[in-house]
C-alpha cells in the first residue's frame, strides 16, 4: 500500500511513497502529512476469524491488510513488546461500567498511558528501518503529557536514533513530568518550554519542514522524523485496538457479531479518534464516533457547526491536561479522506493564515453522519469520577470526559458504547482525590497513597519508583531557543 499527501504534491516529492518512507519522513508538500492512498477493507469473515485471536495475531493481520513494507521478523519483534504489558494475553482489557457502557483500558503498558499501544511497536519498527538503511535519525516529539514518556521509553538506548521531546513546562501532571525528566539514556533529550502544547507542536512542525534545520542535520549525517501522530506509523497501531475492543464485546456476549456500537473517544490531537474512523471505514460495525473534549472545546464546536475557529482561542488549563490542545493535527486526515487534497490544502492553509475555516453545509452533513461531539467541564468530570467510583470503577479525568457524550450524543439508547480510557488513575491522582473526597493535595505522592488505600488498589512500581529517581533532564527554555538547544544536544 502506498501513501499520498494530504495537501497534494508540489512537484518536488514523489507522488506516492511506501509505509517505511512515510514513517521516516512524515511531513509532505505544502506542510501536509501522509495518508493511505486507499484503505483496506475487511469483511465479517475477517472479524469472525479473529474472535478468538490474541492481540498480537490480530495486529499482525491488520498490518498485513495494509501491506506494510516491513520485514516480518521486525513486525514480530515489535509486537512482542506487548508481552511486557500487565497481562500479555490481554493487553487491552475491556471493562463493563454500566450495562450499555464498556471502557477499553489502553494504559496497561510501561508508561501507564494509551500512547504505549502505538509507540512501543512503532519505536522498534522505526529504529529497525533506520538501521537497515544505515541511517541515523533525530526523532522529534511534542507532548501534552503522554506521548513524551511513551516515546522516550520506546526509543531509549536504541541504535541509530536520538530523541528530543518538547513539553509545556507546568502543563503536565507531576507524574508525567517525572516520567520524562528522570530519563537518563544518552540518546534522549527532554526540553521544557515556556508555553502550551500548541506551541510545542508548532515548533515541531516548523522544524520538520525547515530546509535550514535539515541542512544542519545533514552536516552530521542525521535525518529527521517524528514520534507524534503526524506520523502514520502511530496511527496504524492505533487502529488495531478499536477492532480488538469490538471483538472483546463479542467474546463476552455483550453484543452479537455485526451489531453496531458507538465509539466514544477523549480527543486532543485526534489520533485516537482517527484510528477509530479508519477501523470504521475498513469495516468495523460502528454506528457513530463520539468525540469528548474538555473546556478546550474547539473540536466540539467544529463538529457541531463546521467552523474550526482559533481566532479568539487560547489554551485553558484543565484537570485533563493531555487534552489541552486547540489545533488537532489529525483532523487534516479526516478532511483529506472525505474531501480530497485540493479542498484539504485550501482549508488547512486558511487555518494557518486566518486561524479559521468553515465547511460547506454538505461537508458538515458528511462529518456529522460519522461524528458527534460534546465537551466536559472540570466539575462535570469530577462528578463522573465519583459516579463511576460508586459503581466500583476508578478512572482518570480524561476518561471521565467520555461520560458527557455518553449521556448527550447517543441517539439510539439500545446501542452499546465503547469508551476509551487513555491513562491510568495514577497519572492524575490529585484530581481524582479531589473528586472523591474534596481533599486537596499539593504533591502527587500523597494523593496516590490516599487513593491506593481508599480504593484498595496497588500503585504500580513504574509510578512509585519515579519519586526516588534523580532529575537528569533540567532544560526549560523559551520556544525561540528550541532549534539551537537541539543542535547543542546533537553536538
Cell numbers placing 459: 500503585
105: domain CATH number is 3.40.50.1100
What's the pLDDT tens digit per position in 126-139? Answer: 999 999 999 999 99
pLDDT attached to residue 144 = 92
Residue 404 counted as domain residue: yes
Instruction: Provide DSSP, 218-229.
Output: HHTTEEEEE-ST
SS3 sequence of 316-355? CCCCCHHHCCCCCCCHHHHHHHHHCHHHHHHHHHHHHHHC
Residue 133 counted as domain residue: no
- Distance, in Å, from the CA atom of 365 to the CA atom of 304, rounded to the nearest integer, reads 10
Residue 290 counted as domain residue: yes
Residue 306 counted as domain residue: yes
pLDDT attached to residue 340 = 98
Residue 457 counted as domain residue: yes
* φ, ψ for residue 467, nearest 5 deg: -75, -10
- Distance, in Å, from the CA atom of 374 to the CA atom of 187, rounded to the nearest integer, reads 41
Distance of CA 148 to CAs 114, 162, 324, 450, Å?
Answer: 12, 14, 15, 27
Beta strand residue intervals within 69-135, DSSP E: 94-98, 101-105
What's the pLDDT tens digit per position in 345-392? Answer: 999 999 999 999 999 999 999 999 999 999 999 999 999 999 999 999
Residue 204 counted as domain residue: no
% residues pLDDT > 90 (the chain): 99
pLDDT attached to residue 443 = 87
Q: Is 157 left (phi over 0), alpha (psi -120 to 50) or beta?
A: left
Residue 326 counted as domain residue: yes
| Residue given cell 500548541 in the structure block | 198
Residue 189 counted as domain residue: no
Burial of 474 by CB count in 10 Å (0-12 exposed, 13-18 middle, 19+ buried)? exposed
Q: Tell me 459's DSSP state.
A: P
Is residue 117 predicted with pLDDT exceeding 90?
yes
Q: Which domain holds residue 374?
A: 76-113+233-467
> How many domains, the chain?
1
What's the pLDDT tens digit per position in 196-238? Answer: 999 999 999 999 999 999 999 999 999 999 999 999 999 999 9
- Altogether, the residues listed in the chain come to a count of 491
Residues 6+ apart with CB under 8 A from 312: none
**CA geometry: angle at 26 spanning 22 and 29, to 5°?**
105
Amino acid at each position: 500500500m502506498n501513501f499520498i499527501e494530504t495537501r497534494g504534491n508540489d512537484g518536488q516529492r514523489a507522488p506516492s511513497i511506501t509505509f517505511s518512507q512515510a514513517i521516516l519522513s512524515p511531513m509532505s508538500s505544502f506542510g501536509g502529512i501522509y495518508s493511505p492512498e486507499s484503505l483496506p477493507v475487511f469483511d465479517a469473515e475477517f472479524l469472525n476469524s479473529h474472535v478468538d485471536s490474541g492481540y498480537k495475531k490480530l495486529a499482525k493481520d491488520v498490518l498485513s491488510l495494509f501491506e506494510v513494507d516491513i520485514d516480518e521478523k521486525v513486525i514480530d519483534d515489535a509486537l512482542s513488546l506487548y508481552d511486557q504489558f500487565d497481562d500479555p494475553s490481554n493487553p487491552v482489557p475491556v471493562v463493563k461500567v454500566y450495562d450499555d457502557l464498556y471502557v477499553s483500558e489502553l494504559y496497561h503498558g510501561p508508561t501507564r498511558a494509551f500512547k504505549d499501544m502505538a509507540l512501543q511497536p512503532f519505536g522498534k519498527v522505526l529504529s529497525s528501518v533506520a538501521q537497515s538503511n544505515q541511517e541515523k535519525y533525530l526523532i522529534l516529539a511534542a507532548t501534552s503529557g503522554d506521548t513524551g514518556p511513551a516515546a522516550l521509553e520506546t526509543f531509549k538506548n536504541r541504535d541509530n536514533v536520538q530523541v528530543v521531546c518538547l513539553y509545556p513546562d507546568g502543563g503536565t501532571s507531576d507524574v508525567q513530568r517525572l516520567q520524562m525528566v528522570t530519563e537518563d539514556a544518552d540518546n534522549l533529550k527532554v526540553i521544557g518550554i515556556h508555553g502550551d502544547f500548541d506551541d510545542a507542536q508548532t515548533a515541531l512542525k516548523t522544524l520538520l519542514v525547515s530546509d535550514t534545520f535539515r541542512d544542519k542535520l545533514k552536516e552530521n549525517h542525521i535525518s529527521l522524523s517524528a514520534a507524534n501522530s503526524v506520523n502514520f506509523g502511530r496511527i496504524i497501531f492505533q487502529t488495531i485496538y478499536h477492532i480488538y475492543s469490538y471483538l472483546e464485546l463479542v467474546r463476552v456476549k455483550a453484543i452479537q457479531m455485526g451489531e453496531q456500537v458507538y465509539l466514544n473517544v477523549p480527543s486532543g490531537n485526534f489520533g485516537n479518534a482517527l484510528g477509530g474512523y479508519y477501523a470504521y471505514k475498513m469495516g468495523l460495525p460502528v454506528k457513530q464516533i463520539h468525540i469528548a473534549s474538555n473546556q478546550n472545546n474547539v473540536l466540539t464546536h467544529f463538529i457541531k457547526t463546521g467552523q474550526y475557529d482559533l481566532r479568539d482561542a487560547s489554551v485553558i488549563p484543565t484537570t485533563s491536561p493531555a487534552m489541552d490542545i486547540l489545533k488537532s493535527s489529525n483532523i487534516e486526515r479526516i478532511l483529506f479522506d472525505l474531501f480530497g487534497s485540493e479542498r484539504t490544502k485550501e482549508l488547512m492553509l486558511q487555518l494557518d493564515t486566518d486561524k479559521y475555516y468553515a465547511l460547506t453545509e454538505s461537508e458538515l452533513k458528511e462529518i456529522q453522519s460519522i461524528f458527534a461531539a460534546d465537551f466536559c467541564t472540570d466539575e462535570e468530570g469530577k462528578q463522573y469520577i465519583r459516579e463511576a467510583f460508586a459503581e466500583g470503577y476508578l478512572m482518570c479525568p480524561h476518561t471521565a470526559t467520555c461520560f458527557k457524550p455518553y449521556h448527550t450524543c447517543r441517539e439510539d439508547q439500545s446501542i452499546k458504547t465503547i469508551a476509551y480510557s487513555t491513562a491510568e488513575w495514577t497519572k492524575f491522582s490529585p484530581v481524582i482525590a479531589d473528586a472523591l473526597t474534596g481533599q486537596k493535595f499539593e504533591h502527587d505522592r500523597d494523593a496516590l497513597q490516599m487513593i491506593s488505600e481508599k480504593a484498595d488498589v496497588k500503585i504500580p512500581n513504574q509510578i512509585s519508583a519515579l519519586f526516588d529517581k534523580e532529575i537528569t533532564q533540567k532544560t526549560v527554555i523559551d520556544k525561540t531557543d528550541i532549534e539551537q538547544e537541539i543542535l547543542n544536544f546533537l553536538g
